[in-house]
Amino acid sequence: MRFVGPLLAVVVVCFDIPVLFMLSYSLSGTQGLTLANYGAVFSSPVFLKVIANTLRISLIATAVSAVLGYALAYWISGLQGWARNLALTAVVLPFWVSILVRTYAWIVVLGNGGLVNRLLQWSGISTEAVQFLYTDFGVIVGMANISIPLFVLPLYAAMIRIDRRYMQAAASLGASNSVIFWKVFFPISVPAFLSSILLVFILCLGFYVTPAVLGGGRVPMVANMLDTYINRIPRWGTASAVSTVLLVVTLALFAGYRRANARLGG
């Protein structure tokens, strides 16, 4: 306990107390305690639209990360020796590059004069530039690009711990490769799969740089709106109320994950 105490103190001071301050700001007004900030959030179509848009884009980016990340983690877990090390290096390599740099790199790829548009025009698929940037699509691509490595690593770590004798036993009973995957391997990996989904989705809810750069101010997200209400239009009460709503959504998702994990025996 004496070793846990200092760590607990750091968590309380650096994480819990700021959250309490945020809650106090959301309930404060000129006349003392009030729910006016929450009333402004839930009565304004603008706030509700931004929150709904954030949830929608985060859900899509998480779904893309889940599909591609699971396939990549499964493929890497089946490799051996230098091939596995090379694949893991390719997954970890993006962490060595700033998120800001990686985000701006997509402008080169998806811009009107970027690589994708040049390829589309060269192949004759499109005669003019396709607007990829400053749309939901561009933001989702950028968010998924940043999230996939975060999805792959914990899932891969869980996959390599799965006892391969289960698959061998199923094969010895005549099961096909698809049956072995869907009936044996995938159910065992579901708890780690769900935890990776939760991790990525929560991170997507708080993305700021990627929507600001690739969205160009045309794709409203909660983090960008909070920046406006904190740094440009100082309305700390409203910003705290929006943050609290997002926190409640995150806690509800975490509770749902815990319940699903308990049913799966995780």
- CB contact at 8 A, 183 and 175: yes
Q: How confident is the model over 99-126, as pLDDT tens digits?
A: 888 888 898 888 888 888 888 888 888 7
Q: What is the mean pLDDT of residues 122-143?
A: 87
CA dist., res. 146 & res. 206, Å (int): 13
The percentage of residues in the chain with a pLDDT greater than 90, rounded to a whole number, is: 27
Residues 6+ apart with CB under 8 A from 83: none
Q: What is the mean pLDDT of residues 73-92?
A: 91
Q: How confident is the model over 159-170, as pLDDT tens digits?
A: 999 888 888 898
Q: Which residue has the tokens 């698809």?
A: 178
Long-range CB contacts (< 8 A, 24+ apart) of 173-179? Answer: none
The structural domains of the chain, ordered by start, are 57-219 (1.10.3720.10)
| DSSP label at residue 224 | H
pLDDT of residue 14: 81
Q: How many CB atoms lie within 10 A of CB 30?
A: 7
Retrieve residue 157's tokens: 């770590």
Over 80: is that where the pLDDT of 32 sits?
A: no
CA dist., res. 114 & res. 110, Å (int): 5
